[in-house]
A and B are shown apart, each in its own frame.
Chain A
Amino acid sequence: MKKINWLVVATGGLVGLAAVVLTLLGNPANMGFCIACFLRDIAGATGMHGAAVVQYFRPEIVGLVVGAFIMAVATKEFRAKAGSAPAVRFVMGAFVMIGALAFLGCPLRMVLRMAGGDLNAWVALLGFAGGIAIGVVCLNKGFSLKRAYDAAPAEGAVLPVVLTGLFLLFLIVPSLFKFSEKGPGSMHAPVLVALLIAIVVGALAQKARLCMAGGLRDAIMFKDFKLLFGFVAIFLVALVGNLILGKFKLGFAGQPVAHSDHLWSILGMALVGWGSVLLGGCPLRQLILAGSGNGDSAVTVFGMIVGAAFAHNFGLAGAAASADAAGGVGIKGRIAVVIGLVVMAAIAYFNIPKKSKEA
């Protein structure tokens, strides 16, 4: 199973290129794409949290879901399904978001930060890989959130329709939304360019089944490196892009929208890795699956948005380092990450068949 799947590699390369282009066009540094950050910004734009520096209706999220939807329909892979532990998935989505916001990035942004020379992200990769390894142990013990069932097509269209509707509102009545005047939320590529780039990326990610957690998971479980090559391709293309543009800066200090609170970056990303394996995919993959008709993934995305709102309303998110402060994860955020890990353990325990636990 070592054959290289060129579609995955090409898609990964395109994601890396698109990320660099989006930062060039205005997105925050090393944040061409960040599913966690962008869902957090959307939560802010819709007034679900009041962190004034992270509020913007990110068209990339809409584009990724709509792109996946178009590809799934075009290739007759769109199939509305739901019913695989939706409430549990909602909670897991929320805690995955809390873990990601402690670190300051989803797995995709972790790779982009690594490609920007941010050594803090390399440290966090250890936690992410550890979380995935724990998830693999759960899967090998028989963990399952049980099967989904066919649903009416409308169920599968919920997330694409909701996001498209909100996006149209954002274009037509922007006064309904909150927009950051400074900070990461104020930095963004032109709306339609960001949308179009994300549609292409979403469509290809659907076809290639790109998943940041799936790469390491399949490598550990099945010695299957297909998806991992996509992960590597994103890194390499973004790295070359950053080097060419002079945006590569190796080090721990002075990295954009980042901190050096290593233990909590590791634990935050362990929570993300573990949760992503139990959910069947990283935050990016959840968006793509939701676009392909999976109602359970749509619920997971809603959970992530609510998790982001909690993260900022309760002061759980990591603070980026600045010239005046070291940043990092505060005591409330640390407690939330630990609670998240306990919740994942409980969910794993209750969804592993009893027989297998005794074995």
Chain B
Amino acid sequence: MVDARGLLCPMPLVMVRKELEGSNPDTLEVLVDDAGARENVTRFAESRGYKVACTEDNGDYRLVLSK
């Protein structure tokens, strides 16, 4: 689980990349609260072969990355 709320790009991307490259997980949950971060994390994860499901809750975005 990566909680990148309150952070602007590229910080959320840096955190997600670290997780993906560190343990190569099958699924990863990412919390962001910025639309730009949501777009960038989605694009980055998709480029690494993950599918991304996004739900919005009160301005926060919960992204579930899965292979």
Contact = CB atoms under 8 A, between A and B. Distances in A.
B10 A139 contact: yes
A81 B32 CA distance: 13
Contact of A222 (B5, B7, B44): B44
Given A1-B47, A77-B35, A79-B33, A280 B8 contact: yes
Contacts of B17: 222
Among B5, B13, B17, B34, chain A packs the most CB atoms within 10 A around the CB of B34
B6 A84 contact: yes
Contact of B44 (A79, A144, A217, A224): A224
A276 to B, nearest CB: 12
Contact of A209 (B7, B13, B36): B36
Contacts of B36: 209
Interface string A289-308: 10000100000000000000
Contacts of B11: 139, 144, 280
Interface string B41-64: 001100100000000000100000
Nearest to A221: B10
Contact of B43 (A1, A84, A147, A289): A1
A148 interface: yes
B15 to A, nearest CB: 9
A294 B36 CA distance: 13
A81 B14 CA distance: 21
A216 to B, nearest CB: 12
A218 interface: yes
Contacts of B34: 79
A75 B14 CA distance: 26
Interface in B1-37: 5-11, 13-14, 17, 33-36
Interface residues of B, number: 18
A212 B11 CA distance: 17
B59 A79 contact: yes
Contacts of A224: 43-44
Interface in A190-245: 209, 214, 217-218, 221-222, 224, 226
A75 B35 CA distance: 10
B6 A81 contact: yes
B6 A139 contact: no
A140 interface: yes
A123 to B, nearest CB: 27
Nearest to A206: B36
Interface in A36-83: 75, 77, 79, 81, 83
Interface string A1-33: 100000000000000000000000000000000
A147 B17 CA distance: 18
A289 B10 contact: no
B13 to A, nearest CB: 6
A140 B14 contact: yes
A150 B43 CA distance: 25
B1 to A, nearest CB: 15
Interface string A76-119: 01010101100000000000000000000000000000000000
Contact of A1 (B6, B8, B44): B44
A71 to B, nearest CB: 11
A328 B44 CA distance: 43
Contacts of A218: 10
24 contacts: A1-B43, A1-B44, A1-B47, A75-B35, A79-B33, A79-B34, A83-B6, A139-B14, A144-B7, A147-B6, A147-B7, A149-B6, A150-B59, A209-B9, A209-B36, A221-B10, A221-B13, A221-B14, A222-B44, A224-B43, A224-B44, A226-B43, A280-B10, A280-B11
